[in-house]
Chain A
Amino acid sequence: MSEKHLIPAEECCTSYNIDIRFIHSLGELELIEITVQEEREFINESQLNELEKYIRLHYELDINMAGLEAISHLLKRVTGMQQQMAHLQSKLRLYERM
């Protein structure tokens, strides 16, 4: 993992105007991955979309940490089922064309 993809956690807090404890809580719940290098905490650039999503849900919709964890699990299931459905639909179309 190259360093240019890692964003210091405190920089995220400044940009999004959030508390570092919120990022720590997300890390503890394994909703985002926090990388520690030389005692500094970083967030991978690829996780910014997820982080922004949790910020919106927590700060705008008042969903607490337990709710975020539950939502994360359910969204994974929904996405999985949507992918499976898309796969089955394309398979069905293939059979219908035959």
Chain B
Amino acid sequence: MAFIDYYKVLGLDKNASDADIKKAYRKLARQYHPDLNPNDASANKTFQQVNEANEVLSDPDKRKKYDQYGEHWKDAEAYERAKQSQGQQAYGGGFGNEYQYAGNEGFSGSFNEEGFSDFFESMFGKGGGRSSTTSRKYKGHDYDAELHLSLRNAYTTHQQTLTVNGKNIRITIPAGVENGQKIRLKGYGGEGVNGGPKGDLYITFVIEEDPVFKRHGNDLYTTHDLDLYTAVLGGEVMIDTFDGKVKLKVKPGTQNGTKVRLKGKGFPVYKKEGTSGDLIVSYHVLVPVDLTEEQKELFRQLAKTTVQNK
């Protein structure tokens, strides 16, 4: 932990007036305020530094103490202890906590939950910030994240573990979640400033395209290849659904592009358990190729019969 030059943080010299401090603080606060810099951790940190500098320099008592000891802030502790041992009133409520020199962290050192650096706490004590009526509490910034799901994954309610800033978060994803849908996880965003609440985490779902099924709302669309003979004579086919295979009867004389609707075999409706859209199957009739000479002859005979019947 090292000395922090609060004047430098605000871009001021030591003779700066209260008005100069206020002006510099306002200018930097507008630049680095978490509300104006969403998802920007470095801006948030700079804002904490600026806030801390303002906290000290705009308070006459704190500024006096800071100016008095400056870089020799460690001496202040000894001075305060001596004063305390003499039965005098401790200065400004600071130095209440045991201090141990923890190495040279510089200004990039950590900030506590209230948004103050170790240096600040050493000099002014924990809770050295102003009372809640004057110390601004800021909600931490919100994080945005994307979660990619396959269409098959979005079909069922399932759990996923996300890692956000090194923390594992287990979330339940309800079946039927839409592409582009956003959910909010309260309190999983950035740290608040000055004891303010944590920000929120917003997750946007990105549903990947599926090679077999297309989704429109809660309905699913698929195409099924139908051989010519089944299309002409009728029969049965097995259709794939996300629930497994389904047997379908094919009417004789089924045309290419014929659509069949399977009620309730589509996509589950979001947060309406037991309710699903429909599955619409389009038949794609395959014309046989690579026929043997014998097969071709049979088709010729069929063609003649058809012409004679007209």
Contact = CB atoms under 8 A, between A and B. Distances in A.
Interface stretch (A1-9, A28-36, A37-45, A57-65): A57-65
A19 interface: no
Interface stretch (B30-38, B69-77, B301-309): B30-38
Contact of B144 (A56, A71, A83, A90): A83
A77 to B, nearest CB: 11
B36 A71 contact: yes
B162 interface: no
Interface string A47-73: 001001100110011110000000100
A86 B38 contact: no
B30 A61 contact: yes
24 contacts: A49-B139, A52-B139, A53-B35, A56-B35, A56-B138, A57-B33, A57-B35, A57-B36, A60-B29, A60-B136, A61-B29, A75-B36, A79-B38, A79-B144, A82-B38, A82-B39, A82-B144, A83-B144, A83-B146, A83-B204, A86-B144, A86-B146, A87-B146, A90-B146
B12 interface: no
B26 interface: yes
Interface of B: 26, 29-30, 33, 35-36, 38-39, 136, 138-139, 144-146, 148, 200, 204, 206
A62 B30 CA distance: 9
**A49, A56, A79 pick with most chain B CB within 10 angstroms:** A56
A54 B56 CA distance: 26
B195 to A, nearest CB: 15
A82 to B, nearest CB: 6
Nearest to B29: A61
Dominant secondary structure of chain B at its interface with chain A: mixed
Interface of A: 49, 52-53, 56-57, 60-63, 71, 75, 78-79, 82-83, 86-87, 90
Contacts of A87: 146, 206
A61 B204 contact: no
B297 to A, nearest CB: 50
B243 to A, nearest CB: 28
A60 to B, nearest CB: 6
Nearest to B39: A82
Nearest to B148: A90
Nearest to A46: B184
A2 to B, nearest CB: 16
B54 to A, nearest CB: 12
Contacts of A52: 139
Contacts of B200: 49
Given A86-B144, A86-B146, A62 B38 contact: no
Given A61-B26, A61-B30, A82-B38, 17 more contacts: A49-B139, A49-B200, A52-B139, A56-B33, A56-B136, A57-B36, A61-B29, A62-B26, A63-B30, A71-B36, A75-B36, A78-B38, A82-B39, A83-B144, A86-B144, A86-B146, A90-B148
B140 to A, nearest CB: 12
A60 B26 CA distance: 9
Contacts of B38: 75, 78-79, 82
A49 B138 CA distance: 12
